[in-house]
Amino acid sequence: MWQVPRTAGVWRIAAIDEAGGWKDRTTVEDMDLAVRASLRGWKFLYLGSLMVKNELPSTFKAYRYQQHRWSCGPANLFRKMFMEIVKNKKVSLWKKVHVIYSFFFVRKIVAHIVTFVFYCVVLPATVLVPEVEVPKWGAVYIPSIITLLNAVGTPRSLHLLVFWILYENVTSLHRTKATFIGLLEAGRVNEWVVTVKLGDAHKLKSAAKAFKKPRLRIGERLHLLELGAGSYLFFCGCYDMAFGKNYYFIYLFAQAIAFFIAGFGYIGTFIPRS
């Protein structure tokens, strides 16, 4: 069971029709269709040799909106499809468990929440409460092994491993918030904001004036959630450096800097309001 992307997937019309067609009940209609088609017995073929151009969001604000949609949508889809999967008589018990537990619960919900809550809230809080001790094998060794195993597939980017970890923890803040919004069907559950992508426009001489930096408004660059999380981590790091014994302040200061960089708007291309 895996998700078919809307931008690089080719569907059989028969598969779409048998799965019930496109539905707009969530912001991840491609995942919705893929899950329903899989429950109908359709299988997907991944062509690893086929190269397709892709582009990341050009601004951090656009990236945040994209991650909100990609985290909120699956959580909301899980809420709406849970009983549909359980009651499906054409699917084996093992496949139901796989879709509910592995595909949805672990990968789309638990992964986001644990990353932020444990590494950006609980672990720093243990510095302030020395009576609570987190085993190093659970806080350092096992996560490090998992991270290294994930990095084996892209050895050319191994030098970016530490930066990737810090950045993933920063984005987990918004993924966690979006996950709860999707599960609870809160106000922004169906919010759809088109992801801003600049393409090669910023490389063209004719577009040079459009990207000339004018005077910036401070409010346009500041992200209060990231600044708040960074301040909390920085405070915990200072406390650990003064009174701690486990040298957690090395990680806390590094993670705080990552939050501050994001909070002050120094990630991605900045496009001021016209």
**Cα atoms in the Cβ-side hemisphere of radius 13 Å centred on 95:** 15
- Which pLDDT score, from 0 to 100, does residue 216 have? 53
Strand partners, 59: 268
* Pairwise CA distance, residues 150 & 114, whole Å: 17
**pLDDT tens per residue across span 190-223:** 888 887 777 655 554 444 454 444 455 666 678 8
Q: Worst-scoring range by mean pLDDT, 88-97, 114-123, 210-219? A: 210-219
Q: Which two tokens stand for residue 170?
A: 């920063």
**pLDDT tens per residue across span 249-262:** 999 999 999 999 99
| H helices present in the chain, as ranges | 13-19, 29-39, 60-87, 93-97, 111-117, 123-128, 136, 142-151, 161-184, 218-221, 224-243, 249-263
Annotated domain spans of the chain: 1-54, 60-263
**pLDDT tens per residue across span 128-148:** 988 888 887 777 788 888 777
